[in-house]
Amino acid sequence: MKQILSKAVGIDLGTTNSAVAVMDRTDTDIVLHEDRRATTTPSCLWKDPRSGELVVGRLAARRVGTTPAPIRSIKRLMGRPDTVRVTDEDMTPEQVSSLVLAEMKRQIQQDVAAWDSADTSWEVDRAIVTVPAYFDQPAIEATRHAAEMAGLEVLDLLHEPTAAACYHCWSHKTDNGTFLVYDLGGGTFDASVMRCTAGAFEVLGISGNNMLGGDNVDAEMARRLQEYLVEDDYAFDLDLAGDDEDKIRFAQLKFLAEGVKQGLSAQDLFMFRDSGTVRDKDGTPVIIDRMVERAEFEEVARPVVARTIGYCHEAMELAGKVAGISLSDVDQVILAGGSTHMPLVREMVTRELCGPDGARCAEPVYEKVDTIVALGAAIRASAVGGLRSHNPERTFRIFFRGTGATGTTKTRVAGRAEALTADADLDGGHIRLSTAGYDDEADLGPDGVFGFSRVPVQAGAESLLAFDLYDGEGTRVMSTVRTVTHDDDLGIDGGETSPPTLSKSFSLQVNRAGRPHVKELVPATTLLPTRAQFSFQHPGNTEQVLFPLYQHRRRVQVIEVQVPPSTPRGAEISFDVHIDAQYLITVRGAVGNTEFDAAVEKAPPRPEPTRAEIDQLVSRFTNAVMYLKAGDHAVAQAKWDMTMASLESAWRNNDRVQLEHDLEELEFVIDSLAVVEITLVPPKAEFDAIVTECREFNLRVRQAAVGTAITHDEQELAKSIDAQVDQGERAYRNRDQRAYGEAIEQLYGILRWLDGQYKKTPEGKDNRSEEERVADAADAVGHLARGEVMRLAESKGRADYVREITEIIRDLAECQRDAGRDTGRTQTRIAQHQRRLRQIRDVLVSGAHDVDSLPVDATS
Per-residue contact string for residues 240-259; x = within reach of ligand AMP by CB under 6 A: ------------------x-
Angle value at C-alpha 754, between 815 and 684, nearest 5 degrees? 85
Residue number, 44 or 524, with CB nearest to ligand AMP: 44
Q: Which of 73, 174, 265, 511 binds ligand AMP (CB under 6 A)?
A: 265
Contact pattern from residue 318 through residue 337 relative to ligand AMP, giving x for each residue in contact according to CB under 6 A and a dash for the rest: -------------------x
For residue 19, the minimal CB distance to ligand AMP (Å) is 8
Part of the chain binding ligand AMP (CB under 6 A), chosen from 12-20, 411-419, 586-594, 651-659: 12-20
Cis peptide bond N-terminal to 682, omega within 30: yes
Residue 15 Cβ vs ligand AMP, minimum distance, rounded to whole Å: 5
Q: Which is nearer to ligand AMP, 202 or 215 (CB)?
A: 215
Closest by CA position to 623, among listed 686, 677, 703: 677
Q: Do 151 and 105 meet the contact criterion of CB atoms below 8 Å apart?
A: yes
* Shortest separation between residue 266's beta carbon and ligand AMP, angstroms: 7
* Cβ nearer to ligand AMP, comparing 624 with 657: 657
State the SS3 of 355-403.
Answer: CCCCECCCCCECCCCCCHHHHHHHHHHHHHHCEEEECCCCCEEEEECCC
Taking CB under 6 A as the criterion, the residue among 161, 214, 376, 847 binding ligand AMP is: 214
The residue from 341, 380, 504, 841 that contacts ligand AMP (CB under 6 A) is 341
Alpha helices in 447-588 (DSSP H): none
Amino acid at 99: L
Contact 478, 391 (CB under 8 A): yes
Residue 301 or 673 having the CB closest to ligand AMP: 301
Closest-approach residue to ligand AMP (CB): 214
When the beta carbons of 14 and 386 are compared against ligand AMP, the nearer one is 14
> If binding is defined by CB under 6 A, does position 262 make contact with ligand AMP?
yes
Listed ranges 10-18, 731-739, 772-780, 810-818: which one lies at the site for ligand AMP (CB under 6 A): 10-18
Radius of gyration of the chain measured on its C-alpha atoms: 33
Strand 332-336 versus strand 430-435 pairing type:
unpaired
Neighbours of 323 (CB within 10 A): 16
CB of 323 vs ligand AMP, minimal distance in Å: 28
Of positions 14, 79, 358, 364, contacts ligand AMP by CB under 6 A? 14
**Which is nearer to ligand AMP, 190 or 818 (by Cβ)?**
190
Size of the site for ligand AMP (CB under 6 A): 18
Backbone angles phi, psi at 161, to 5 degrees: -60, -35
Q: How far is the CB of 293 from ligand AMP (least distance, A)?
A: 16
Tell me which stretch binds ligand AMP (CB under 6 A): 338-346, 543-551, 686-694, 824-832: 338-346
**Diameter of the chain measured on Cα atoms:** 108
| Among the listed residues 261, 486, 538, 796, the single contact to ligand AMP using CB under 6 A | 261
Please return the burial class of 718, using the count of CB atoms within 10 Å of its CB with bins 0-12, 13-18 and 19+.
middle
β 462-470/430-435 pair status = antiparallel
**Sites for ligand AMP among residues 294-323 (CB under 6 A):** none
Closest distance of CB 40 from ligand AMP, Å? 6
Contact call for residues 205 and 318 (beta carbons, < 8 A):
yes
Q: Is 747 exposed, middle or buried (0-12, 13-18, 19+ CB in 10 A)?
A: buried
Q: Which whole-number Å values give the CA distances from 655 to 61, 68, 95, 245, 773, in the listed order?
A: 20, 19, 22, 15, 73
Question: Which part of the chain contacts ligand AMP (CB under 6 A), choosing from 292-300, 339-347, 517-525, 631-639?
Answer: 339-347
Residue 72 binding ligand AMP, by CB under 6 A: no
Cβ of residue 600: shortest distance to ligand AMP, in angstroms? 32
Helix (H) or strand (E) holding 690: helix 684-705
* 17 contacts ligand AMP (rule: CB under 6 A): yes
Query: Which among 15-23, 65-73, 310-318, 452-460 is the span making contact with ligand AMP, rule CB under 6 A?
Result: 15-23
Site residues (CB under 6 A) for ligand AMP, limited to 175-194: 185-186
Name which of 14 and 177 has its Cβ closer to ligand AMP.
Answer: 14
Q: How far apart are CA 585 and CA 543, in angstroms?
A: 23
Closest CA to 188 of 202, 208, 207: 208
Q: Is 15 in the site for ligand AMP (CB under 6 A)?
A: yes
Give the chain's end-to-end CA distance (angstroms, integer).
Answer: 63
Look at the chain and count its residues: 860
- Does position 161 interact with ligand AMP (CB under 6 A)? The reply is no
Question: Segment contacting ligand AMP (CB under 6 A): 13-21, 99-107, 200-208, 662-670?
Answer: 13-21
**SS3 assignment, position 555:** strand
Is the Cβ of residue 40 or residue 226 nearer to ligand AMP in the bound state? 40
DSSP states along 133-159: TT--HHHHHHHHHHHHHTT-EEEEEEE
Among 14-22, 438-446, 459-467, 748-756, the segment contacting ligand AMP (CB under 6 A): 14-22
Q: Per rule CB under 6 A, is residue 376 in the interface with ligand AMP? A: no
Q: Tell me how far apart the alpha carbons of residues 243 and 509 are, in angstroms, rounded to a whole number.
A: 38
Out of 5, 9, 13, 16, the residue judged to bind ligand AMP by CB under 6 A:
16
Nearest to 452 by CA among 466, 442, 467: 442
> 278 — phi, psi (to 5°)?
-120, 145
Q: Which is nearer to ligand AMP, 189 or 536 (CB)?
A: 189
Q: Among 163, 342, 721, 731, indicate the residue that binds ligand AMP (CB under 6 A).
A: 342
Shortest distance (Å) from residue 446 CB to ligand AMP: 44
CB of 582 to ligand AMP, least distance (A): 25
Neighbours of 284 (CB within 10 A): 12
C-alpha closest to that of 13 among 167, 186, 179: 186
Please say which residue, 75 or 798, places its beta carbon nearer to ligand AMP: 75
Contact set with ligand AMP (CB under 6 A): 14-17, 185-186, 213-215, 258, 261-262, 265, 337-339, 341-342
